[in-house]
Chains A and B, each alone.
Chain A
Amino acid sequence: MQLDQLHRRMEVDELSWDSFPLDHFKLPLTTKPTDCRTDLDAPDILTLSDLSIDSVLPDDVFERIFSFLPISSVIRASLTCKRWHEIIHSRRCSLFSPGSKSKPWYFMFTCTSEASPGGFAFDPLTRKWFSFHLPCIEKSNWFVSSSSGLVCCMDSDSWSRVFVSNPIIHEWRQLPEPSGDSQPDYSTVAISVDKKSLNYIVSLVRSKQVSDDFHQWEFVVHLYGSGSGKWVTPVKEVFSGWRGGDDSVICNGFLYCLIQSTGVIANTVPRHRLIMYNIVSSSGSLMHLSIPVPCALTCGRLMNLKDRLVLVGGIAKNDRPDIIKGIGIWELCQNKVWREVAKMPHKYFQGFGELDDVFASSGSDELVYIQSYGSTALLVFDMEKKQWRWSARCPVSKRFPLQLFSGFCFEPRLEVSC
């Protein structure tokens, strides 16, 4: 059919786009104009308003449209036709690009069966819980860390099986075993993805008692780079009166790790300190470069929120370091000083019911999630809006008094591979 005949027909009746197969028109697709002058003379295709959207919009425009969608919609859209499926899985589709509205999820382990720990993931954008399966993780007490869509986990038995996965695209791999003492007393993992190269670093910090008097503790840092595919052990230090292995996170080229006092110190002095290890250009004693936490804490959780180091801590009662009287959020500023971001309002603190001195907290991008181990109640704090909000009610409820729940935050991404 000639093009002018087509025009005439279209003026007469509304044609279904399906009437014409895609290759029928053989019209050039408009791509990004590189040379403005020649493009202004390109043939007019825009009066053919009944064409299928699929035949006239270029790939990068679709990528932009998809970046405005919550990930569940993106997955559904990938089913519609081959081209959309290719665009979505082409690894160029970042849902966390500056214009997009994607928010990090919270995964909660809700099944205690050891066969395969199931769970639910909460999407704060749609405020829905999805039944979700995580690859690799065999038990809910494994060590977990996440960064930009990759989830790193380590087993809780041998403390030497380390996996990296992207739960959304179902990819995973096991890292080679790190060297060194694999029977430490305390251990913590962290992962960090480089946004440009999409390479990642995994850190494994191990702490082991050296002497019998609980005083000397070895603090060892192992680092794995996805580029080199190898582990290195750049740091080994012995602390007196402090042990490592509490929470750790990699942020802006630094590995931050919380250490705890093992000695008897005055109850007014914080029992935790923050180790700051410069991964790129380390020098000097870690202990000397460490700083105390802002106040006496019952527990501390570290997270990387848009390249800022954030600490969520249980605030201890003055004379009782194991009793929590509140929860605070602090940010570490450039000059190594803590700045208080928020304190959990009392009504939310009470809303958890019984809150132990230790709780789960994890965050990414702009959100901080806080969860009590004893229930499925999940509280969300938005760092930009400075707002607290409960998540939608978790579909799982507590089945027996001692049932524990834990979880972690991760960003659902399609474009990051392990």
Chain B
Amino acid sequence: MADNGGKKITLKSSDGEEFEVPEVVAMESQTIRHVIEDVCAKNSIPLLNVNSKILSKVIEYCKKHVAAAEAAASKASTEEGTAAAASVTKPSDEDLKTWDAEFVKVDKGTLFNLILAANYLHIPGLLDLTCQAAADMIKGKSAKEIRKFFNLKNCISPEEEEEIRRENQWAFEEEKRTRAFDAYA
């Protein structure tokens, strides 16, 4: 990535840690972009909503995606044959997807914090990635399993639950099948 004297900015996490990053990386966040553009001469931005652990992960994501975009842009502008001259860190689309998939392989607490951070900092790519990961945790689970996994308080009455199940039998067929199988297992 071009680290050749581009403007840097300091992001300060809620627990006081400072991260110096190129401005272009920080601007992956629309929130930060607005602050930089509206409030001039700001060298250090305190992010009181994000702790250092999460902020470092967010910065990691932004750095990776800025690098990928730059690589793709320069690839498009070079005609041919100069690929050898380019740095070895030129991820293709597939590589980036693989990297993204690994990036979200975290415990659910970290994932939810990442979702919050991406939402608060307005980073659309990261928000979609983390929401998709959260959705993958929900997909295929029964209502009971979802509740347990996310520690949700069940405040739906048994009558209401029965009505929902009855009206949408098709959505619960799988559950019935698994339950029946469990009875014989």
Contact = CB atoms under 8 A, between A and B. Distances in A.
Contacts of A99: 128
B56 interface: no
Contact of A33 (B120, B146, B152, B173): B120
B132 A54 contact: no
Interface in B145-173: 146-147, 150-156, 161, 164-165, 167-173
Contact of B173 (A39, A66, A84, A131): A131
A14 to B, nearest CB: 10
A80 B147 contact: yes
B34 A36 contact: yes
Interface stretch (A69-77, A263-271, A338-346): A69-77
A289 interface: no
B168 A75 contact: yes
B14 interface: yes
Interface stretch (B18-26, B64-72, B135-143): B135-143
B155 A49 contact: no
Given A36-B31, A42-B49, A61-B131, A84 B109 contact: no
Which of A32, A37, A72, A99 has most chain B Cβ within 10 Å? A72
A105 to B, nearest CB: 10
A41 B122 CA distance: 16
A121 interface: yes
Which of A41, A58, A82 has most chain B Cβ within 10 Å? A82
A65 interface: yes
A75 B131 CA distance: 18
B59 interface: no
A53 B51 contact: no
B120 A39 contact: yes
A139 interface: no
B39 interface: yes
Interface in B37-71: 38-39, 45-51, 54
Contacts of A37: 35, 38-39
Nearest to A41: B48
B139 A73 contact: yes
A44 B165 contact: no
Given A36-B34, A52-B153, A73 B46 contact: no
Given A36-B34, A57-B116, A82 B49 contact: no
Contact of A72 (B136, B161, B170): B170
A52 to B, nearest CB: 5
Chain A interface residue number, banded: 35 or more
Which of A30, A54, A71, A79 has most chain B Cβ within 10 Å? A79
Interface string A298-332: 00000000000000000000000000000000000
A77 B51 contact: no
A46 B47 CA distance: 11
Contacts of A41: 48
Nearest to B154: A81
Interface string A153-192: 0000000000000001010000000000000000000000
A195 B112 CA distance: 32
B155 A82 contact: yes
B110 interface: yes
B10 interface: no
A153 B32 CA distance: 52
Interface stretch (A15-23, A140-148, A279-287, A377-385): A15-23
A222 interface: no
The main secondary structure of chain B at its interface with chain A is helix
Contact of A71 (B128, B171, B172): B171
Nearest to A45: B49
Given A130-B170, A131-B169, A77 B143 contact: yes
A68 B51 contact: no
Given A49-B112, A69-B139, A131-B169, A81 B156 contact: yes
Contact of A76 (B31, B136, B167, B172): B172
A234 interface: no
A227 interface: no
A236 interface: no
A197 interface: no
A18 B34 CA distance: 38
Nearest to A76: B143
B39 A30 contact: no
A380 B151 CA distance: 40
Contact of B167 (A43, A46, A72, A170): A170
Given A37-B38, A61-B119, 12 more contacts: A18-B153, A32-B119, A36-B31, A36-B38, A40-B48, A40-B49, A43-B48, A46-B51, A54-B150, A80-B152, A80-B154, A85-B156
28 contacts: A18-B153, A30-B120, A36-B35, A36-B38, A41-B48, A42-B48, A45-B49, A46-B54, A46-B113, A47-B15, A47-B51, A49-B109, A49-B113, A53-B152, A54-B150, A56-B112, A56-B116, A61-B116, A61-B127, A61-B131, A75-B168, A76-B146, A76-B171, A81-B156, A84-B152, A130-B171, A131-B170, A131-B173
Interface of B: 14-15, 31, 34-35, 38-39, 45-51, 54, 108-110, 112-113, 115-117, 119-120, 122, 127-128, 131-132, 134-136, 138-143, 146-147, 150-156, 161, 164-165, 167-175
